[in-house]
Amino acid sequence: MKLHAMVLVLAAAVALPGLASVTNLSLSGTAYGWQAAGTQGVPGNVNTGSYLTESGTWYGSVEEGLVDGYFYILWDDSRTVQSARWMSTFADTQRGLSSFTLWSLNDGADPEVPASWTKLGDYGDFDNPSSIKLYYEVVLPQAITTKAIKLSYTDQYRPLTGEFEIYSRDMTRLATTISDASPSRGDSLTDKALDGTVFTRYGSEGLGNGPGFMDFDLGGEQAVGALQIYFSIQGGYYAAPESFVIQAWNDDDGEWTDVRTVTDWPAMGLIYSLDLDTAVVTEKIRLNVTGPRASSNYADGSFGVSEFYLYAPVVPEPVTLSLLTIGGLALLRRRV
């Protein structure tokens, strides 16, 4: 396994990156919204980092029938935006969206004025209202700069939003398979952690207070720049772990190398994000659950994973020759 970092040297003092840092990959902001029918929850619930029913954070309609509506995420200053992710909060196919539109706020404009927004695109199936989905991912063709992103919908049947996440980077997932894992419970099979929806899950059997794990295989060496874990606490069988370690396979030594150790993870911590300062080049990433948490059905501990996403490193902006002549481009290559 190899660790790589690219450092642009523009002055005598250069801060080399550390191995990894935990960050919320999504751009947290203030959420506002409106629906033509009665609402459930408040708009601010769509940007809390929590998406499951048990968390009690959602925004939607309580009335039967079709509704129009919108919500938007507003920031104090302009942000770079390239990806968005929308999730319902119930595994009920009637509480999702069949179609929607994304918008960006024009410079200096009032977000409550419809003409203040520029359309980014239509998504879903506008011709088939029954094609409801509970989960959407959008990657824009190129990054934009704006102070707000809005999602609007028309003629949707009681949509219920659990989370609306905005990202400054390309959130296209790396293709992975699960090569090994702790025994699963019932039909909570390992592939449920890679099926693209947070409403299915892999769930471990009781772990007897011992460790559990999942191995995510990249099919060969690839650079990994970030990851997200959507833990599952549904059904009373599973829990978010108290402690876990993200590891990368070291093919040279034939062993796992620790990338990040997490302790005292909260019981309601549903989304874990890791943004690597130094990209890891490896064939496999392991989630090693060192401290399983007791669930209502497993006193000796279990864990559930709804989704596990790996992302490529962010490609740096091209550097002009004039900048290169100032300091040059240094390549730091570290092996572990």
pTM of structure: 0.79
Tell me whether residue 40 is in a domain.
Answer: yes
Tell me whether residue 323 is in a domain.
Answer: no
The total of structural domains in the chain comes to 2
Tokens matching residue 143: 């990054």
| 154 pLDDT above the threshold of 50 | yes
Mean pLDDT, range 31-44, rounded to an integer: 74
| pLDDT value at residue 19 | 35
Neighbours of 74 (CB within 10 A): 16
- Of 118, 147, 167, the domain-final residue: 167
Residue 301's pLDDT band, with cuts at 50, 70 and 90, is: confident
- Of 135, 167, 199, the domain-final residue: 167
Tell me whether residue 130 is in a domain.
Answer: yes
Neighbours of 118 (CB within 10 A): 12
If asked whether residues 8 and 101 sit together in one domain, one would say: no
If asked whether residues 135 and 250 sit together in one domain, one would say: no
Q: pLDDT (tens digit, 9 = 90+) per residue, 261-285?
A: 999 998 878 889 999 888 999 999 9
| pLDDT value at residue 82 | 96
Tell me whether residue 115 is in a domain.
Answer: yes
Report d(CA 116, CA 124) in Å as an integer: 23
If asked whether residues 233 and 135 sit together in one domain, one would say: no
Judge contact between 105 and 111, C-beta under 8 A.
Answer: yes
Tell me whether residue 211 is in a domain.
Answer: yes
H or E element: which one contains 214?
strand 212-231
| 20 pLDDT above the threshold of 60 | no
Report d(CA 205, CA 302) in Å as an integer: 6
Average pLDDT, the chain: 80
If asked whether residues 16 and 81 sit together in one domain, one would say: no
Tell me whether residue 65 is in a domain.
Answer: yes
Dihedral sign for Cα 42, 46, 49, 55, please. Answer: positive
| pLDDT value at residue 8 | 25
If asked whether residues 12 and 75 sit together in one domain, one would say: no
Tell me whether residue 136 is in a domain.
Answer: yes
Q: pLDDT (tens digit, 9 = 90+) per residue, 70-127?
A: 989 999 999 999 999 998 876 666 678 999 999 999 999 999 999 999 999 999 999 9
If asked whether residues 210 and 235 sit together in one domain, one would say: yes
| pLDDT value at residue 91 | 61
If asked whether residues 293 and 185 sit together in one domain, one would say: yes
What is the residue range of 10's domain?
Answer: 2-23+173-311
| 18 pLDDT above the threshold of 50 | no
Residue 2's pLDDT band, with cuts at 50, 70 and 90, is: very low
If asked whether residues 216 and 137 sit together in one domain, one would say: no
If asked whether residues 6 and 43 sit together in one domain, one would say: no
Query: ∠ CA(4), CA(316), CA(309), 5° rounding?
Result: 70
If asked whether residues 47 and 161 sit together in one domain, one would say: yes
- Of 167, 193, 213, the domain-final residue: 167
Q: Which amino acid is at 324?
A: L
Residue 56's pLDDT band, with cuts at 50, 70 and 90, is: low
Report d(CA 143, CA 140) in Å as an integer: 7
pLDDT above 90 coverage of the chain, percent? 42
| pLDDT value at residue 52 | 52
CATH number at residue 233: 2.60.120.260
Report d(CA 201, CA 198) in Å as an integer: 7
| pLDDT value at residue 160 | 80
If asked whether residues 59 and 107 sit together in one domain, one would say: yes
If asked whether residues 53 and 104 sit together in one domain, one would say: yes
H or E element: which one contains 222?
strand 212-231
Most confident range (mean pLDDT) of 141-145, 264-268, 323-327 is: 141-145
Tell me whether residue 317 is in a domain.
Answer: no
Tokens matching residue 256: 């796992």
